[in-house]
Amino acid sequence: MEKTATQLRNERYSKYVDAVSPQTSAVKSLLHSFVLGGITCVIAQIVNDLFALAMPATEKEMIATFTLMTMVTVAIFLTGLGVFDKLARFGGAGLFLPITGFANAISSASMEFKAEGLIFGTSTKMFSVVGPVVVNGVVWSTLAGIIHLIIFGRIM
Amino acid sequence: MTIHKGDNCGFTQASAPILNGKRSIGVKKQTVFFQNPPKIIAGASVVTDRESKGPIGQYFDITEHDPKMGKKCFESAEITMMDKAVRKAVEKSGKRIGDIDAFMAGDLLNQITTSAYVARGLEIPFIGLYNACSTFTEAIAIGSMMISSGYYENILCSTASHFATAERQYRYPLEYGSQRPPYAQWTVTGAGCSVLSNKGEGPRVVAATIGRVIDFGINDLSNMGAAMAPAAMDSMTRLFKDTDTRPEDYDLILTGDLGKLGSDILRDLMREQGYELGQRYIDCGSLIYDVTQKCYQGGSGAGCSATVFNSYILRKINEGEYNRVALFATGALMSTQSCYQGETMPSISHGIVVER
């Protein structure tokens, strides 16, 4: 189909805007997220080791669960203090890919909509940011499970 | 950054040819010249700490240190902010709220609630307006028409925006750790109000250009400057052609909230139209924040042009530094839904010419 003059103009303008708009430096972003993501993981590992030291009789999986809970609590606490978003602005994916990002997304949304009350505000809007993560997590892991079942004949 | 220097990018060939100074039959001019130019007898602005630390911080009337202003939520704070600006402007004009014939206001929130709730407390006739961030000049333009035609004597024109409420409505929760692209802008937390009157002392609104909705196909919600620059170009060119003026005829040409990137694009677009904006052009968005304040390309929002105009600009006009100022507030007319539905960002810009 022949492009209209407006479409052609818009394409030209879009190219021009792409050329003049400043872009984020990939190297810098990667470096920042590497550093902050690394620090997050090191802290989690320290917490994990401390739990293992304090409770030698507990199973490994249980200790991992405790560590996750601690990290989530810390992330929510930092969100409440208004520090997390500043760290994440710097660290990017390094902070929002680990479970800390998930905790931040839920807690920030529930804080944001507190003004509309517990039911119509917090409860309704709590998953507004992480909703897509939850839905896609369930859908894709189900798919992965089915593929695994077909190939190996078992779920796990 | 590579900005075109005068070479023809060909962005405007597709739109209708623009009038060449003289009146063509069948094509109406977009600029209105007022027979009885109304005067801006007073203006007031309310901002928060961030704006008051900017380059023109000392010119604002009231600075709030708490962005929530002791209220339960940011929306209430925005209402209080506009209310304060309105009352301060009326006080500076030496009138009482009861002397005002109409309150014209707009903001960025759904159903322009901020303006409506302020109007509830004022108990005077209310005309609600919405043209996104260009609402301020829209209010001045329509208010001037109403006064010039003789039906109204005193009119209040006000707009407000709040960083927190705009973020919540258009983007993510405040504390959510997201990254913005470097071409994003920062919504101004502030409210401005002008008092227009047929009597009294003050700069006159001599002409107004009502803009057309222009869409150059930008669909990146963060790149507001690039989406709005063509609208500013369109209205600005119309004003120059309709009034047979050139940028040199104005002491100052302002745009509302294009930001640094947007104003660079506008300079390019205007150069293509044969107008060199040069040193007399500045953008309210790039004026309000300092480069060190980490506000990306500068300020945006309905409060941006309103606070800058009602503080710094109005003062400088009154002091005689500028004799003729053209202000083009720019607005992007999309919603968050429309962009997810695959629509692009249509924009508009209304211009006013203020003379001392």
Pick left, alpha or beta for residue B123 (phi over 0 → left; psi -120 to 50 → alpha; otherwise beta).
left
pLDDT at A156: 67
Radius of gyration of chain A, Cα coordinates, nearest whole angstrom = 22
* Contact residues on chain A for B15, CB-CB shorter than 8 A: 9
User: What are the structure tokens assigned to B314, written together?
Assistant: 């109005």
Give CA angle at B343 (A112, B327), nearest 5°: 80
Q: In A, what residues contact B, Cβ < 8 A?
A: 4-14, 16-17, 19-24, 29, 79-80, 82, 84-85, 87-89, 92, 95-96, 101, 104-105, 107-109, 111-113, 115, 128-129
* Contact residues on chain A for B14, CB-CB shorter than 8 A: 4-6, 8-9
Q: What is the ipTM of this complex?
A: 0.85
How far does the CA of residue B114 sit from the closest CA of chain A (Å)?
A: 16
> Cα(B38)–Cα(B144) distance, rounded to whole angstroms?
6
Which of B9, B173, B223 is opposite residue A109, by nearest beta carbon? B173
CATH, domain range B202-355? 3.40.47.40
pLDDT in tens, A25-34: 889 889 999 9
* Contact residues on chain B for A82, CB-CB shorter than 8 A: 175
pLDDT in tens, B308-346: 999 999 999 999 999 999 999 999 999 888 888 889 999
DSSP B131: B
CB contact, 8 Å: B182 with chain A? yes
pLDDT in tens, A69-82: 999 999 999 999 98
Cβ <8 Å between A23 and B226 = no
CATH, domain range B39-197? 3.40.47.40
pLDDT at B296: 85
Which of B4, B177, B268 is opposite residue A87, by nearest beta carbon? B177
pTM: 0.88
Give me the residues of chain B with pLDDT under 50, please: 1-9, 12-27
Q: Are B198 and B144 in contact (CB under 8 A)?
A: no
Is B202-355 the same fold as B39-197?
Answer: yes
> Cα(B298)–Cα(B183) distance, rounded to whole angstroms?
9
Cβ <8 Å between B218 and A17 = yes
Domain ranges for chain B: 39-197, 202-355
Which residue on chain B is closest to A4 by alpha carbon?
A: B14
Element (H, E) at B314: helix B314-318
pLDDT at B27: 44
